[in-house]
Every structure is written in C-alpha cells, then in structure tokens.
Structure 1
C-alpha cells in the first residue's frame, strides 16, 4: 500500500537500500530507515506542534526503538518518547530519548514500578485503575518523587481496539482526580484515551472518535471543579496536518509514531508534509513452482486497510521502476512468515540473491526483523549507521559474515 508512495516521493532511498544490500551491508529481513527523512519529518511535526502549544512525545515501536531513529527525531526537535511498554521505555532511554509518557498503551507491571519511578522518571504515567495508581504513587514516593499521573478514561460508546480496553469511568473523573491527589507520591495531571483519531476507510479521511469528545467533557468537568492546567493526551493517527484539529479539540499532548516515517493511513492516500522514510528489505532465496521465495521474519503488515494485492520491487540492480514490480503472497497471520512468495510467472523473473523491497506499514517490534539505519540518502552518499534488533540493541552484522 505504501510502495507507490515510496517510489514517487523517495526513490533514491529505495535505490540506496538495494545497492547497500547487494554490496553486503544490509541483511535480508530488515526494516530500513532513511534517517535524514526521519529528522526532516520530526522537524516539520515538532515545529507545527510547538506553534500550537502541543507537547510532543514520539512513538518508536513501529521501527523497533532503533537508536538512530531516536537520535534523528531528537535532532528534529522531539526530545521525549511515549513508551508502548517497559521494553520500549528502556530502549529509548538508553538511546538518550527521555520518557515523556509511560503506561499507555501497556500498563507498567507491578514489579517494574520501582525501576520506572526511580530510573526512567517519566513526565507522565498513565493508570487505568486505582490499584495501578497506588502502585505508581508508592514507587514514586519511594524514589523521593511526586509523579504526574494521567487517568485513562472511557465511556460506553468510546472506540477501543479489542484487547486495549480499560480505564476509569469518565463520569467519575472529578472523584478520580481527588483520589489520585490523596496518594503520597502522586499528582493528578490529566486525562487520556486511545484512539482519539482514526482513519475512515469509506471517506479516506481521518476522523475524531467519540473518545475525543469524552476527553473534552472530562476536561470541562475538571475545570468546573476548579482544576486548571489539565493535560489532555489525545494519541492516534497523527500528522502535522491533524494538529490544529487536535489543539482546537482541547488536546495538550500529541504522540506521532507512523507520521515520523510517513506511514499513517492518510499518508497512503494523500501526499502529506512527512515523507516516506521506511521500507522492508528481503532477498530471493529459492524457487518452487511458479513462485520465488523471499526471506521473511518481518512480514507483519499492520492491517489498517482490508487485504490488498501486495507488491514488491525485485531486482539485482538498484531501481525504483514500476517494471520491477511483482505480486507477492504473504503468509496468513496464523502462520510463521518464514518466506514470502513472489509471482515468478509474470514479467519479472526473480533470481536467487535479488533484492526485494516492500513498502508497508509495519510493526517491527512484534517481529524478528533487523532494523537498519541509513544516513546520507539525500546527499547521494548513503551509508549504514547501525543494524539493531527489536530492542534497539546493535547487532554486529560484519561479524556474522565472517
């Protein structure tokens, strides 16, 4: 779905990745990042957010918390992360990207609370229940800190992905705020939800979910109760073009993720300010029947769109030409993606060792893929910076080649 955008808007990135793979610098089963473009995207986003008074926390899970990605967005003006889980927070912290928001989407496990409070020291910590609020408060008190807590709230008609549910009743928010403030080590800081914005397949536009109205009503109730400076955290399908609508709806915090590498659903149907900065690279392994098999491991295509004809560029030479496109069958989600199956009966005749380039919206952190940073694409002098695993830890690729 995003390969066409890559071919139109960042062809030199595709060609650089192919060349580096053919030269032996990038292994198959790799998410490859154009770090120059990531920095540019972060700057576009952060400058717009700053003008609107929005705090920006970067989501890094989609590209597996790569340290070079963290450094690029910091150069672009974003100095805080939102951690999807503790592994995410630790990886970003290690890379120098401080924890701006922890506990949302995944709550902090009880056994990690002391470490989170003392070592990560997040600006904001989301809790879904009184029990989790007490854990966070006790850990912060033990560390000699007062922790800002965000209450995840919900109403009956709010939108949640299955398995993401949880939170306080929005109608009780004033009482919840008082109860959090009564805990030693805690301060009620505001409210949050997910998702506040979603891509609508029918209109091909991003729309507010009922959750955004829930946040607004809760904020109004808190203001009426005499509480000021309430933080309203409104994550979901972000782009620089959506920030004004978020600010107008009362949001004070935004959390770009896919926007930083140009792969929100809206980026697939409109040319937005953020350019495409990620691709998935594989290599032809062998043939069987009318298919050429390419290595998998990271073929998790985030199902934001209905199933579609997946295509890839297949070539032994750097190219972004449509003449190198082939259809590819991706294993069903119930199967392990050892390989993707390229149609070898069409015009393109793949050979073993050929580079295979996909453009899709991935979630690298749930795969066994490598994540590779590349700098110098814009200057025509691309080089690999680091090759890392899904925890943002450097892999010594040359050593594997000995």
Structure 2
C-alpha cells in the first residue's frame, strides 16, 4: 500500500535507490532512507509539537536506529529519542540523541538499571511496578541524581497489543505517585500508556483508544490530590495533524516514529504533511516455476492492514511506471524469509540482478536487513551516508 504513496509523492527517491543499487553502492535486503525527507518531516512535527507545548521524543526502531536517521532528525530540530529497549538507548545515545524516555515499551532488565542510569540519565523512565521503580531509583541514586519516573497505568477496557500488557492500576494512581516519590533517587513525574491513538479500519481514521481516556481520568485524580505539572505521555500513530488532539486530551509528550518517515496508516489514506521517506530494496536471485525469487531478510510487514496484494517495482532501470509493478508472495511470519516470490509471467520477465523496490511499513529492528541512509535526493545528487545493521552499527558490506 505504501508503494502507491511512494510512487506518487516521492518518485525521485525510488529512482535514486534503484540507480544506487544497480551501481553497486547499496546492498540488497536494505531499508533505504531519504534523509532529506526525514529532516523535513522532523521539522514539520517539531514545529507543530512546539505550537501545542508538547515535548517530542523520536522513535527510531522502525528504521533500525540508523545513525544517519538520528542525525537527520536532529537537523530537523528533535534532539531526544524514546528508547523502546536498551538496544535503542545504546544506539541513539551513540548517534548523538539524548535519551529522553527509557523503559517503554520494554522495561529495563534488573542488572542493566544501574548502567542505564549512569550512562544515559534519561529525562523520563517508565516503570510498570514497584520493583522496577526501585531498580530505576537505585540506579539514579548511585549515579548521583534524582530520576523522573513515569508510571505505566492500565484500567479495565484499555487496549493493549498481546504481549504489551502491564502497569499499575489506574484507580490507585495517587497512591502510586506517593510510593514513587518516597524512593531515594526517584520522583513521580507522570503517567503513560500505549497505544493512546490507533488506526480504525472501519472509519479509515485515527481514533483515541480507551487508554487515552484512562490517562485523562488519572491526570484529573492526580490534580485533585494536589499534584501539579504532571507529564502525560501518550504515544501511538503520531503525525503532525494529530498533535492538536493529543494536546487537547491533556498529553504533554509525543513520540513520532512512523510519522518521521511518512508510514503511519493514515499516510495511506490522506496526503499528510510528512513525505514517505523509507522503502525496502532487494534483488532478484533466480527464477523457478514461473516465479522470480528475490533475496529476503527484511520482510517484516507490520500488519496494520488486512492482507493485500503486495507489489514491487522490478527492473534494471530506475522507474516508477505502473508497467514495472509485479505481485509478490511474501513468506508468512512463521517462516524464515530467505526469499520472496515475484510473479514472473508475461512479457519482460524479471531477471537475476534486477532491483525490486517495496513500500510497506516495516520494523527493521526485528529483521536482519541492512539500513541505508541516503542524502541529497531532493537536490538530485544522492549520496550514501551510512550502511548499518539494525543496531545502528556500521555493517561489513560487501564483505
């Protein structure tokens, strides 16, 4: 679905990526980033967030925490990251972004808490229970500072992805705040959940989840208990056009991820201010049984839409023409994606060495794909800035 948007809104990006691949300058099995577009997107999001008084933390996991991506985000005015796990914290810190938020979605392991506090000193640290709060506070105390703690809260009827559950009972938020304040090295700073916003297939719009109402009620309870300046962290499906609604609901923080590269579900439905800035590129390996097999390794297609006919642009010459589109069978998530199978029927069948370009919302950090940052596309002078693995480390390529 995102390939249609890419072809229409950022065709020069597709053509540049195909040319660079054919020149042997970028590898197959790579998430490729248009760094100029990322920088422009970050600037749009930051300006809108500032207008509504929202703190902004960049999510980088979807594009493998690439260092050139982090640098482009910084040039766009966002200087802090949310670390979905400790690997994110290490990569974004190394790339020069301040760790603005740690511990959400994944909590920090017990024996990493002290090092995380000492090395990163995150602005905010989310905890799901008293034990995790104690570990974070102890780490901060040892490092000589007081850590701002965000309490992840939950209430009956809230929406969580399977495997994301956890948090304090929202009905006890005032007591939770008191307990976190009582910790040496820690202080209660606010509340969080995920997701606060979610794409709704029926209405084809982004709607608030019950979780957002839970945050609002909890903030009201805290205010009634005499607490002021409560941080409300409300991530999920973040584009610049949704920030006003978040602020109106009481949020004080936002965490754009897919919005920074134009791949939220809403970007398929509407032309939003953010341009599409990421594609997946690979190469035809061989033909068999009427199929052209292309190298895999990065086919984690984030299942935000029901199953659809996945297509790729396939060819040797840079193009966005509809005639270059071919249907592709991608292995199911239960299989290892060594290859995907491109329809090789009809005239001008794909050949080994052809470039294949896909547009889908990926999660590069759970794949074995390369991540490639390319600058200069908007000026007609594309330049490969980085070729890295999904941990933001320089990749050994071609050998």
Rounded Cα–Cα distance in structure 1 between residues aligned with 2:380 and 2:397: 23
Alpha-carbon distance in 2 for matches of 1:138, 1:378: 48
Question: For residues 322 and 383 of structure 2, what CA distance do their matches in structure 1 show?
Answer: 25
1:224 maps to: 224
The change in CA–CA distance for 1:216 and 1:63 in structure 2 (over 3 A counts) is same
**Mapping for residues 282-297 of structure 1, pairs under 5 Å:** 282-297=282-297
SS in 2 for 1:397: coil
Residue aligning to 1:64: 64
Q: In the alignment, what sits opposite 2:186? A: 186
**Unmatched segments (≥5 aa) in structure 2:** none
- Counterpart of 2:158 in structure 1 is 158
TM-score, normalising length from structure 1? 0.99
Q: Corresponding residue for 1:237?
A: 237
TM superposition shift of 1:383: 1.1
Q: Is 2:107 aligned against 1:111?
A: no
Q: Secondary structure at the match of 1:81?
A: strand
Following superposition of structure 1 onto structure 2, how do residues 196-345 of structure 1 map, counting pairs within 5 Å? 196-345=196-345
Whether 1:394 and 2:394 are equivalent positions in the alignment is yes
Change (3 A) 1:54 1:348: farther
Distance (Å, rounded) in 2 between the aligned partners of 1:237 and 1:359: 18
Of 227-236 and 338-347, more deviation after overlay is shown by 338-347
Contact map agreement 1:81 1:98 (CA 8 A) in 2 = yes
C-alpha distance in 1 between matches for 2:118 and 2:235: 26
Question: How has the CA–CA distance of structure 1 residues 173 and 286 changed in structure 2, closer, same or farther, with 3 Å as cutoff?
Answer: same
Alignment partners' CA distance in 1, 2:26 and 2:325: 21
Name the residue aligned to 2:16.
16
Aligned-partner Cα distance in 1 for 2:348–2:246: 45
Secondary structure of the 2:378 match is coil
Q: Distance in 2 between matches of 1:297 and 1:326?
A: 19
- Hey, what's the Cα distance between the residues in 2 that align with 1:266 and 1:299? 21
Q: How far off its partner does 1:88 sit?
A: 0.4
Counterpart CA distance in 1 for 2:396 and 2:310 is 31
Deviation at 1:348, TM superposition (A): 4.6
1:325/1:348 contact within 8 Å kept: no
How far off its partner does 1:347 sit? 4.3
- SS of 1:125's partner is strand
Alpha-carbon shift at residue 156 of structure 1 (Å): 1.0
Partner of residue 385, structure 1: 385
- Corresponding residue SS for 2:219: helix
Answer with 345-354 or 2-11: which moved more. 345-354
Residues 82-121 of structure 1: pairs in structure 2 closer than 5 A: 82-121=82-121
Specify whether residues 267 and 348 from structure 1 end up closer, same or farther in structure 2 by C-alpha distance, changes over 3 A only.
Answer: farther
In structure 2, distance between residues paired with 1:74 and 1:357: 28
Unaligned regions of 5+ residues in structure 1, if any? none
Determine if contact 1:329/1:340 at 8 Å carries over to the other structure.
Answer: yes
CA distance in 1, matches of 2:356, 2:38: 22
Quote how far apart the aligned CAs of 1:396 are: 4.0
Q: Is the 8 A contact 1:326 1:346 kept in 2?
A: no
Q: Partner residue of 1:351? A: 351
Q: CA deviation at 1:239?
A: 0.3
Q: Give the RMSD, CA atoms, in angstroms.
A: 0.6
Q: Is the 8 A contact 1:234 1:246 kept in 2?
A: yes
Return the alpha-carbon distance in structure 2 between the equivalents of residues 168 and 396 of structure 1: 44
Q: Which moved more, 1:291-300 or 1:341-350?
A: 341-350
Sort the Cα spacing of 1:352 and 1:51 in 2 relative to 1 into closer, same or farther, 3 A: same
CA distance in 2, matches of 1:109, 1:237: 27
Deviation at 1:346, TM superposition (A): 3.5
Aligned to 1:368: 368
Contact persistence 1:314–1:348 (CA under 8 A): no
Distance 2:349 2:205 in 1: 38
DSSP 3-state at the match of 1:223:
helix
Distance in 1 between residues matched to 2:70 and 2:242, nearest whole Å = 23
- Cα displacement string for residues 66-101 of structure 1 (whole angstroms, at most 9, x for unaligned residues): 000000000000000000000000000000011000
Name the counterpart of 1:38: 38
Using structure 2 for the length normalisation, give the TM-score: 0.99
In structure 2, the residue corresponding to 1:378 is in which secondary structure? Answer: helix
User: How do 1:162-173 and structure 2 match up within 5 A?
Assistant: 162-173=162-173
